[in-house]
Every structure is written in C-alpha cells, then in structure tokens.
Amino acid sequence: MTGVPQRTRMSAPDALPRPDVLVPQPYELPVPTRFRLANGASGLAYDLPGQYVLSVRLSVPMPLRVEPRDLEGVATIMARTLDEGTARHTSVEFARLLERRGVAIGCGVGDSGLSVELDVAKHHLAYGLDLMHQCLAEPAFPAEEVARQVSTRLAEIEQERSVASHRAAAEFAATFYSPVGRSSRPVGGTAETVAAITRDAVVAFHAEHVAPAEATVVVAGDLAGLDVVAELDLSLGRWGTPDTYRSPGPWQVTPRADDRARIVVVDRPGSVQTELMIGAPGPDRRHPGGWAPYPLLGFLVGGSPTARIDAVLREDKGYTYGIRSTFRPRRRGGVFITAGSVRSEVTGDALRLLLDVLEHGREGFTQDEVDHAAQFLVLTAPSRYATADTIADEAASLSFDGLDTGFTSRNLVEIAGMDAERAGAAYREFIDGRWTVVLVGDAASFLADVQALGRGDVTVVPN
C-alpha cells in the first residue's frame, strides 16, 4: 500500500540467558547503633537513607498497677496533657510552635507504659527534640486542660459502651482476668475513677513514674550529617529524674480469673448483629519455645479471608464479613483472641462452628497451610517495615520487653523455616478447650441456642 509507513521487521537478537529466579530470603530489619544518654536513657539509632522525616519514639516502662486504685486512668490523663502547655509556653503557644515547623508529637499509655512519639523533618530535628524535652521535663498540666481531658475521657467511656467491639473487649478483660489484677479493668479507667482525677493527682503521678532511668529512645530516618547522640544529649539528655521517682520494680504476671472458662452474654435488645470475643491464655515474646510460631498460627487460623475460620463462617456459611484471630503478647504472659461479628439469628451455630475450628487446630496443621502462612508473613515484611515510623514503632514496642528489632529479624527466619509439627505443638501448648467467651447482642434471639451447646455456664449481664 502506498502512503502507509511500513514497519521494518527486526531480526531477533542473540538469545540471552535468563536470570535465575531465586527464592526470596527473609527480610532483615536494619541494625541500629546503640548509645546511652547522659541521664541514663538507652538509645537506638536507625539510619534509613532517603527518609527525611525522622521518627523519634520514647518508651517509659510503667505498669498500670502503679496507678492509685481510686484514680485509675490518671496515667492516660497525664499522657494526654503532656503536650498541653509547658513551663515556658501556654497550650496555645505550644500548639503554634508545633505547627510552625510541621512537628507532630503524640503521647499515650498502654499495658507496658508510656509512649511519646515525635515526627519531624530532618532539618528541624533539634527544634522538635527541644519541644519533646519540654513535654517530658516541664509539663504545666494546666487545670483547665486536665479538666477538659477528664471530660473527654468520660464521654469516651459512654461511647465505648455503645460500640459492640469495645463493650466486648471490656467484658472479656473483666471475665478473663482476676478482679484483683489491674488488667481486668479498662486502661483508661472507669467513669468513677476518672471523674476523681485532679490536676494535683496528674502532677504527682508524673513526678513519681515518668523518668529517664529505664527509658529507651529510638530515632529512625536519614541520619547522614547528623550527630544524633549529641542532638539528643542537648535535649532529652537534660531530662532528669525527680527525687520523688519510684521504680516500677519487677514485672508481675497478671493473674487470670479462676472461673474464666465460661460464656458471658452482654444483652443489647434489638441488635441485628452479635459481637463475639473468644480467648485463651497465650505466650509472651520470651516464651521458652520461641515466639515465631504464634504470629504464623494467628494468621493461619484467623488472620485473613483465606484462613480456616473465614473458610467456614464467611465463605461456606455466609455468617460474617470476617473474624480474626491473633496471639497478643504482654510483658509477662499473653492472650489468644478471636473476635468478629455475625448475624444475630445465627449466633448459636456460629459459636459452635467457631469453637470447632479453633479446637480442631489441636489435631495439627498441614505443611501446605504452614508454608502459605509463612510465605505471606515473610514476603510482606519489607512492605510492613518500609518506613521510618514503622521501624521506630517496632523498636519502641520491643524495648518494653528489653528486646530490639534483631528479635523481629530472627523470628522472620524461624517463620520461613517453620514445619507443621512445631506449629501444631505450639498451638496445643496453650489451646486446651477452656475458652472465655463474650457475646454482645440481643440475648433473646440466641440465648437458648447458646445454652444448648453445652459449653458451660452462661451468664447474662446488662449492656
């Protein structure tokens, strides 16, 4: 055809050898540089080239049992007001200082202690660290801000009672743990204890329990050209230990309730769904048999839409959008939790099937199942730990247990080589059929079905 460009056919190049496709190796988290500040705080620095927003994390071990019994929740209020003004700046002024250079500071309290987070552009690190130091060493705890946070927490408590998942978690803790243990009650306190918190109580708690002696600071990001230790010593290194400070002492195992193996129904008339929470004891990260099997087992049993639980309750029965299982380590001991929601009218059968699936795991797992779970956990690790904040968060969390991210890297290697026999033995070590079961929903629509399962005592409590 005239007028139409003709495509020239190129001769094929000489055949090139195809590269070998290698089996991916377990991901290794970056190795930190260790240091110690002038005030005794431990430090970890992770140099992550190209990540110019630095993440600084501070962990202060502080078991919640140190809270006065009649002021439980004071640690939470203290954490929430750390950045609400300092000796040098009002709360409004401090907020403007954060905004001026895009600095983000967050504070919170969990089972293991106080966590303080700082995210700041690399060239403003000294500026951000100075503000972080002021929060820790010079908090003003303005009376009006303490009162505001107390009011906010009281409103949250009311809201949490209206959210089925939160209500289930609170009832589970009260049922699973002994009432003499702090873990049986909400981290943020109850309405009665929170309402009694004053500024003086917050000031006293901070002076007694927040100090650098046992703290760990983590810095992650592009550290080229920075003298991180010098920067930290000029800021957080000047944070001292008050004369009133009291060491938390040896960590204690949280006692479990003698009658934890039972079913509790939280009655919410008219609810069209039932929230389920089922639990049993689990290991901590220092378990003699190793921690590696337990993230794998959680994923295999109920960690994804392809896991055993959803294969039955979601794909086969259509009872749920998804139910998840996980082993949650604590400082001493841990818990295995399975939670999710189902349609109200199928609650009895869903509970029967769910317990059957969980207990069937005692018979073991196939090597194909174990390999599938291992591949997911190992091959997705690079994306899970791709940013400075996730590396810093992991390191700070592990520091509460006296561990570092080398622990995570070693576990990824163990997971990659996991065999079905070890996984099954690890599961049987904790799963013995003695379950704590909490159901939040319309008791009238399913109570008879649940009782007919013959799974032990069933107690109904109001919402």
Beta pairing partners, 281: 335
Mean pLDDT computed over 275-287? 97
Res 14: pLDDT: 65
Mean pLDDT computed over 79-88? 97
Question: HSE-up of 217 (CA within 13 Å, CB side)?
Answer: 29
Written as one letter, the residue type at 215 is A
Res 1: pLDDT: 41
Residue 49 DSSP one-character state? T
Res 89: pLDDT: 97
The CA distance from 134 to 88, in Å, is: 8
Res 2: pLDDT: 43
Residue range 303-340, pLDDT digits in tens? 999 899 999 999 999 999 999 999 999 999 999 999 99
Cβ distance 175 to 262 under 8 Å? yes
Residue 356, class by beta-carbon neighbours within 10 Å (0-12 exposed, 13-18 middle, 19+ buried)? exposed
Check pLDDT > 70 for residue 11.
no
Check pLDDT > 60 for residue 360.
yes
Cβ distance 433 to 358 under 8 Å? no
Res 148: pLDDT: 98
User: What mean pLDDT value characterizes the chain?
Assistant: 95
The CA distance from 212 to 136, in Å, is: 9
Residue 234, class by beta-carbon neighbours within 10 Å (0-12 exposed, 13-18 middle, 19+ buried)? middle
* Confidence label for 13 from pLDDT (cuts 50, 70 and 90): low
Check pLDDT > 90 for residue 298.
yes
Q: How far apart are the first and last CA of the chain?
A: 82
Domains observed in the chain: 33-238 (3.30.830.10), 263-462 (3.30.830.10)
Residue range 365-418, pLDDT digits in tens? 999 999 999 999 999 999 999 999 999 999 999 999 999 999 999 999 999 999
Residue range 205-220, pLDDT digits in tens? 999 999 999 999 999 9
pTM: 0.92
Res 146: pLDDT: 98
The CA distance from 134 to 132, in Å, is: 5
* Confidence label for 131 from pLDDT (cuts 50, 70 and 90): very high
Check pLDDT > 50 for residue 105.
yes
Res 12: pLDDT: 53
Compute the C-alpha angle 216/331/334, nearest 5°.
Answer: 150
Res 6: pLDDT: 52
413 vs 254 pLDDT, higher one: 413
Check pLDDT > 60 for residue 362.
yes
Q: Please give the torsion angle defined by the CA atoms of residues 348, 353, 359 and 361, in that order, rounded to the nearest 10 degrees.
A: -160
